[in-house]
Structure 1
Amino acid sequence: MTVEREPKVDRATRRKRVLIELLDPLPDARPLDMDHVRTLAESIRDHGLLQPIAVVEHHSRYLIGIGNHRAAAHQFLGKTAVEADIWPADTTREEILLRSIHENHVRVDESFETTLSRIHTLMAAHGVGFREAAKRGKFRKSHLSKIETVLKRLKPKALACLQEHKLGVSIAYAIARGSDDEDTQIEWIKQNAAGKMNRSAIEKASKAKPCRMKTVTLSTTIDDVAFTVTLPKEFDYERLKDRIRGLSSKVGLQAKRNTPIDLLPRFLDAEESA
């Protein structure tokens, strides 16, 4: 019987100061956010480096496994070296991802593609499903919910475009929620990547966008209560059930408040307009 070896995340390391000129980012490292670099630089200047970066030996140089922004902040401050944990030269990309997850959990500024890669790495390492892997990686429930929304609502070509431009989870979520049209999703992704459309602009555009979708009206009677529901034609059952759960939650809230049932429509309308 063949036993699959789990990636190691506790291999011995040594710590030393490394010349910044000898550091290189990983080939698929997310682009530097200069606002974040400047913020880190201020913190390092005032308080010092609280956590060393981690690098992998690569011939006579080093690849930055964790801490690309910290290294850039040192360079921004005019420093020539940075304290680093040195990982062995044979450290794999999978091991780097696992170490990064355990060190820093979820980074809100990383790309959607990298976030997925982290979850998939945990799935493979522990032999678990998507949600359990995210749980082991200590992903926040709200963050995981956004990831799942993007995977459900973003069209295939738009998802590929998102990964190509290395956009983050928050902007991907805004785009996925803002439109079901693939061409619109792709256009917003390109506009954001070019710096011409931020998240607020996308959210504003999604609200201003006229509704051209076809609808379906469902009418049914349960016991002595008649229901009529109008929904977009492309809705799937999961989205319909999600909306019904939302309505149930709102009705439950009014029940706790002992709102007279004949006034229920007025209170529900007030919640929608609030």
Structure 2
Amino acid sequence: MNLDALDDAVSESKPRTSGISDVMELEMSLVYANPHQPRKHFDPDSLVELAESIKSHGLIQPISVVRRTAGYMIIAGERRWRAHQIIGSVTIKAALVVKDESEIEEMALIENIQRDDLTDYEIAMAVVRLWETGMYPQKKDLARAISKPLSFVSKAFSVVNKLDPEIRADIEENKRDTGLSVLEELSRVEPEKQREVYDRYNAGEIKRDEFKEAAKPKAEKPIEPKKIKVQREVAVTQGDGRLLFGGDDFHRFFREVEPWKKYKITIEEIV
């Protein structure tokens, strides 16, 4: 028996009882996931284990839902609902949440933020979404509500607001579990350099504390002056305040030069 999966079936994300009705049996076709759910990735193997546990022992902890025009939206327990889909359940146990809209949104977001199986990026997205509800006067109030330090909230905002959109899309699409401190440090890099640094980090070429150095512009290699190998002496005479050059090698050089480039001629005295 997989005890971890059984524990998920019994006690996953137990909701608060205040404002929640008695348990009822809902048709699976009437239940749908919260579109604002910050968690985007559900491990397939873990879901199968949970499904097998529910199939063997039943669902002891019901999901929490709220009534909507389209049916019942999940507030807590999407993994359990997905596990029911795997085993082909027709109905699922659910507790109806009776609260106003702002409380429902807060409950759904906090329930997800406090989970320990979300990626740091998913949590950061949920934190910003919770702030956007306008329910908290200051960010310290938000930090207190989600039981996180204020520094965590600040890092979450840096990641969501300053990180290159292409990087954010890559994290979501490829389900990268990159740490919040790494993403926050990356958000400090100049926008036009972020993707290059991000790719090098994922390739294992650099570490977090090397981001700033990696983002610095590369020094241009000095251009070496073109040297001519003179086979014979070049005649140099002075007349009317000008230097007059002669000799086949000197004239051959000027036939080979590229007119859009700059050249430097050095005169060396031969004793």
Matches within 5 A, 1:1-274: 10-29=18-37, 30-35=39-44, 36-45=46-55, 47-59=57-69, 61-88=71-98, 91-92=100-101, 94-100=102-108, 103=111, 106-107=114-115, 108-109=117-118, 111=122, 112-121=124-133, 124-125=134-135, 127=137, 129-139=138-148, 141=149, 145-152=151-158, 156=162, 158=164, 162=168, 171=178, 173=180, 174-178=182-186, 180-186=189-195, 202=202, 204-207=204-207, 211-212=213-214
Q: What TM-score results when the alignment is normalised by the length of structure 1?
A: 0.52
Deviation at 1:181, TM superposition (A): 3.7
Report the Cα distance in structure 1 between the residues aligned to 2:81 and 2:178, rounded to whole angstroms. Answer: 26
Query: Relative to 1, partners in 2 of residues 1:146 and 1:38: Cα closer, same or farther, differing over 3 Å?
Result: farther
CA contact (8 A) 1:55 1:86 kept: yes
Can you give the 5+ residue segments of structure 1 that lack an aligned partner in the other structure? 1-8, 192-196, 216-274
Higher-helix-fraction structure:
1
Report the Cα distance in structure 2 between the residues aligned to 1:47 and 1:120, rounded to whole angstroms. Answer: 40
Aligned length: 190
Report the Cα distance in structure 1 between the residues aligned to 2:203 and 2:191, rounded to whole angstroms. Answer: 16
CA contact (8 A) 1:13 1:85 kept: yes
Q: Secondary structure at the match of 2:143?
A: helix
Q: Give the residue type in structure 1 aligned to 2:65.
A: V
Q: Secondary structure at the match of 2:19?
A: coil
CA contact (8 A) 1:12 1:87 kept: yes
Q: What TM-score results when the alignment is normalised by the length of structure 2?
A: 0.53
**RMSD in angstroms over aligned alpha carbons?**
4.2
**Higher radius of gyration, 1 or 2:** 2
Query: Relative to 1, partners in 2 of residues 1:150 and 1:11: Cα closer, same or farther, differing over 3 Å?
Result: closer
Report the Cα distance in structure 1 between the residues aligned to 2:132 and 2:81, rounded to whole angstroms. Answer: 27
Tell me the percent identity.
21
